[in-house]
Chain A
Amino acid sequence: MPLTIIRSIENKIVLQLKDFFLTMQEFFLFSLRAFVAFPKMIRYWRDVFDQATICGTDSIPIVLVSAISIGALLAIEVGNLLEDFGAKTMLGRSTALSVIRELGPLLMGLMLSARFGSRNGAELGAMQISEQIDALRAFGTDPIAKLVMPRLVAALIMFLPLTALSDFAGLQSAAYMAEHYHRIDPGIFWNAVYPRLAPKDFVVGFLKAPVFAVIITLVSCFNGFSARGGTAGVGRSTIKGIVVSSGLVLIANFYVSKIVLENM
């Protein structure tokens, strides 16, 4: 009896592993096809433009709200901590490093994973279950070139300015809180920011934008394309897309910082 149970567990694990590797293989081929479709960018420039509006312009409010709130909170908390050491004048430096290297791009990534990723997953998932993607293929249009490549190009273009905006808004709100909450002169705050920022701080922050763009777009689109089982299936694939892309954004955030900071 215990041997039967062990065998059944073993079979389950083997099946799950097999399923995992097959999914990885499919995801790799899917991603490859999205990159191979890049030369069709000119043909689909309208789709690229539409997607750039969706993931870029339309995402500005959510990116601003998250960056402003985290910048303000960071200034309050770090300021309180530095006050204990009599180093409140260092608030600008510590806030700038945190925002530009980590929190600005990370929050932008997580917000876009939720906003842009969920939209991709739901829209493409709905197209998949209503056979619209099959219709594209049936009538001779490559669905990856038409639906995925424009989203990927748009994200690669728009995530950089959104990161810059997130950094800018975060620092501005931190400066505001430094002045009005901690009573630090703005000159002192900004003097601690500018001279101390090194190129590697910007490289770390801005290198994350294209990495997050690729992760969020490909994961969410792949999950949309894989949707099965009616409207519930669309919901499942959308959630899966958000969860996986958010997790990967967090992991990529750590590794990009680690690799760049260790090598620059």
Chain B
Amino acid sequence: MIELRNVSLKYGEREILKNVSLTIKDNTIKAILGPSGVGKSTILKLMLGLIKPSSGQVIIDGTDITCMKERSLYSIRRKMGMVFQGNALFDSLTISQNLGFFLRENLKLPEEEISQKVAEQIQFAGLEGYEDQLPESLSGGMRRRVAIGRALIFKPHMILFDEPTAGLDPVSSKKILSLISSLRNHNNLGAVIVTHIIDDVFHVADSVAVLYQGKIIFDDVTEKLHEAEHPFIRSILSDKILEL
């Protein structure tokens, strides 16, 4: 379980997050919805301990990671997988090497076991035949699937998606959303999805938190979003995509 308790974050004089509190339970998919540049991706980085909040607490499975040192954080981070907005694949490595990179780095597994796990993820992501290609030769949707495979290979409890369908064509977006939905059914995973596309939220999320001007203005099950009366939520329900 991931908990953010009264988290605030300032960059210089600019306050990005103001007293944000969120809870993400295991085996559920939570979406964080908000316009671009409001601090959604920052929330994911806070959950991983990649950045520290100015105040408040970040708690992962009961452990307060707010003031934890970088070295101690590594074991916590391995409980979570992260799919970055730009995929963050290593461009000089092949797809297989990208998928197996962190297994080779962090776990002392025999090479056969690593190859087997890589093959499983290749199959799961539907990338058979592309094992030896470099990321640059794949389409945006395929790269995203590699990034998801890389995040899943550790068998994390929770997976964090930063704008999983941003920049993808409708067909690829649909495939990625189906892939995310299947995670819950097949692997019993929890997920946090940061997005500015409201359709994605209705497609996959059990619950949704809406971030507006650094504050959470709505946090409930997805179905109740239609009942929300906040003018911003009303406007996004009619516009569907947030480009504010």
Measured CB to CB, the residues of A under 8 A from B are 130-132, 134-135, 137-142, 146
Contact between chains at B90 and A132 (CB < 8 Å): yes
Q: Which of B77, B86, B91 contacts A138 (CB 8 A)?
A: B77
Q: Which of B71, B82, B85, B91 contacts A139 (CB 8 A)?
A: B82
- Name B's interface SS: mixed
Contact between chains at B50 and A134 (CB < 8 Å): yes
Contact between chains at B74 and A134 (CB < 8 Å): no
- 23 CB contacts below 8 A, A to B, read A132-B89, A134-B84, A134-B88, A135-B82, A135-B88, A137-B48, A138-B48, A138-B77, A138-B80, A138-B84, A139-B77, A139-B102, A139-B105, A139-B106, A139-B150, A139-B154, A140-B74, A140-B102, A140-B105, A140-B106, A141-B74, A142-B71, A146-B105
Residues of A with C-beta under 8 A to B89? 132
Contact between chains at B77 and A140 (CB < 8 Å): yes
Contact between chains at B50 and A139 (CB < 8 Å): no
A21 CB → nearest B CB, Å: 16
Total cross-chain contacts (CB, 8 A):
53
State the CA gap A181–B45 with chains docked (Å). Answer: 66
Contact between chains at A132 and B88 (CB < 8 Å): yes
Contact between chains at A141 and B106 (CB < 8 Å): yes
Measured CB to CB, the residues of B under 8 A from A are 45, 48, 50, 70-71, 74-75, 77-78, 80-82, 84-86, 88-91, 102, 105-106, 150, 154
Contact between chains at B77 and A131 (CB < 8 Å): no
A197 CB → nearest B CB, Å: 45
Residues of A with C-beta under 8 A to B77? 137-140
Contact between chains at A135 and B84 (CB < 8 Å): yes
A137, A139, A140, A141: which has the most chain B beta carbons within 10 Å? Answer: A139
Q: Which of A131, A140, A142 contacts B75 (CB 8 A)?
A: A140
Residues of B with C-beta under 8 A to A139? 77-78, 81-82, 102, 105-106, 150, 154
Contact between chains at A141 and B102 (CB < 8 Å): yes
State the CA gap A146–B105 with chains docked (Å). Answer: 9
Contact between chains at B78 and A134 (CB < 8 Å): no
Q: Of all chain B residues, which has the CB nearest A123?
A: B92
Contact between chains at B88 and A142 (CB < 8 Å): no
